[in-house]
């Protein structure tokens, strides 16, 4: 049994790097036919995402671009204009994360496309909303982390700003874009109308930060300073054990009593400062100093056994080396071996979401540039002679697997 609710939906993918490919990879996972339009220079993430055997497919690129048909096209060539028009006309959904000014120049903005095709669903993932003074400014994940105050949270807690060392904004916004597109697909099925969607990274991630950290400033007048004081406590970190680190959380009164007993602090169980949720909120600094104190009299394994017996949420702090070998992940088969036509054996990540106890099938490999150019051109109505003309001009390019890009980190 397969789960392909988007089967029959064609997506024209004008995105690159991370935020857009996250979105289109999820749509491909749900059965959409995704045609990734890529320039001869290639998606930056092919090399920027790390080293690879050929310099063509970084690990990040492999994971973010599975299940997509790759059409390589040079938008600087005259023949590309008609090609793009045909692609747009054949698609149900168009997704872009280029700067709005560039899309307007190419005639690939929402207004141009929906004027010709009112039934199209157009999703633009931007750095900043097009109605504000930052519209059109370039951005990347780290810049968004800083602009939204995420790095400021680290400053408040640790005394120095810091990035989350993964592209968290790109992933979150990409998945939110998926939800907006699915809503528009449902609307089109019921009304026949398309939609022009804009998902701005800055506003979206600002809302995420403020949902938690506007906190006491959510009232008029404010009842205290901004920030969730628990999360901003300098003690809100993994706890040292005799041989490593563990992470645990205790929130309810019952959990707190079980924790204090487990760590040998029974004398605090009846302390009025920590006896209730409200009391602990009033005494955050003192409570988190207790909760975050080192537990170096036992090993990580020993503390896991003790805290799990007390029904406390606890797990070891994995590293990048140990996470793939986690026994739970091994048991559920999250990582799978795969064969790539140019990179050889690779590690693939299956869907984490099941439907009726079935995981969507692992989409096909991330294609080299131009891998499916000929087949896509045939699908949208080009004759053999027309295809030959496009290839001769260089407007369309076939299989650039042999031309490596520069790999970086």
Separation CA 112–CA 115 (nearest Å): 5
Distances (CA, A) of 288 to 46, 160, 204, 311, 331: 43, 20, 30, 20, 35
Sign of CA dihedral 275, 276, 277, 281: negative
Separation CA 18–CA 142 (nearest Å): 12
As to burial, measured by CB atoms within 10 angstroms (0-12 exposed, 13-18 middle, 19+ buried), residue 339 is: exposed
CA-closest candidate to residue 108, choices 75, 135, 78, 136: 75
Q: Which of 43, 109, 141, 170 is catalytic?
A: 170
* CB 2, CB 360: distance < 8 Å: yes
For 139-145, the CB contacts below 8 A with 24+ separation are: 139/201, 139/202, 141/18, 141/19, 141/167, 141/168, 141/169, 141/170, 144/169, 144/201, 144/202, 144/205, 145/169, 145/205
Whats the size of the chain, residue-wise? Answer: 409
Q: Is 338 a catalytic residue?
A: no
Task: Name the residues annotated as catalytic.
Answer: 170
């Amino acid at each position: 049994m397969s789960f392909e609710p988007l089967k029959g939906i064609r997506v024209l993918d004008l995105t690159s790097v991370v935020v857009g490919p996250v979105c289109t990879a999820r749509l491909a996972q749900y059965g959409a036919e995704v045609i990734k339009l890529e320039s001869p220079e290639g998606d930056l993430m092919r090399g920027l995402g790390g080293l690879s055997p050929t310099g063509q497919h970084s690990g990040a690129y492999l994971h973010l671009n599975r299940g997509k048909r790759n059409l390589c096209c040079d938008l600087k060539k005259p023949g590309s204009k008609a090609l793009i028009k045909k692609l747009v006309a054949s698609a149900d959904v168009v997704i872009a994360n280029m700067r709005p000014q560039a899309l307007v120049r190419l005639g690939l903005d929402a207004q141009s496309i929906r004027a010709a095709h009112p039934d199209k669903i157009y999703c633009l993932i931007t750095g900043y909303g097009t109605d504000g003074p930052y519209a059109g400014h370039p951005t990347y994940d780290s810049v968004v982390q800083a602009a939204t105050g995420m790095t400021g949270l680290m400053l408040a807690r640790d005394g120095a700003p810091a990035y989350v060392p993964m592209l968290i904004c790109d992933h979150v916004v990409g998945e939110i874009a998926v939800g907006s597109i699915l809503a528009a697909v449902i609307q089109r099925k019921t009304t026949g109308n398309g939609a022009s969607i804009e998902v701005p990274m800055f506003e979206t991630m600002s809302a995420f930060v403020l949902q938690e950290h506007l906190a006491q400033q959510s009232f008029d007048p404010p009842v205290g300073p901004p920030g969730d004081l628990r999360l901003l406590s300098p003690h809100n970190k993994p706890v040292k054990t005799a041989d490593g680190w563990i992470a645990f959380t205790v929130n309810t009164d019952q959990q707190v009593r079980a924790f204090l007993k487990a760590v040998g602090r029974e004398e605090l169980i009846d302390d009025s400062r920590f006896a209730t949720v409200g009391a602990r909120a009033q005494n955050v600094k003192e409570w988190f100093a207790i909760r975050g104190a080192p537990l170096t009299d036992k090993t990580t394994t020993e503390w896991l056994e003790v805290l799990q017996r007390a029904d406390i949420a606890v797990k070891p702090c994995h590293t990048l080396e140990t996470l793939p070998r986690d026994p739970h992940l091994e048991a559920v088969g999250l990582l799978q071996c795969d064969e790539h036509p140019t990179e050889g054996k690779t590690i693939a990540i299956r869907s984490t979401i099941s439907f009726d106890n079935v995981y969507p099938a692992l989409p096909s490999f991330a294609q080299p540039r131009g891998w499916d150019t000929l087949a896509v051109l045939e699908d949208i109505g080009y004759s053999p002679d027309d295809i030959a003309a496009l290839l001769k001009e260089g407007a369309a390019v076939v299989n650039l697997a042999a031309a490596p890009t520069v790999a970086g980190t």
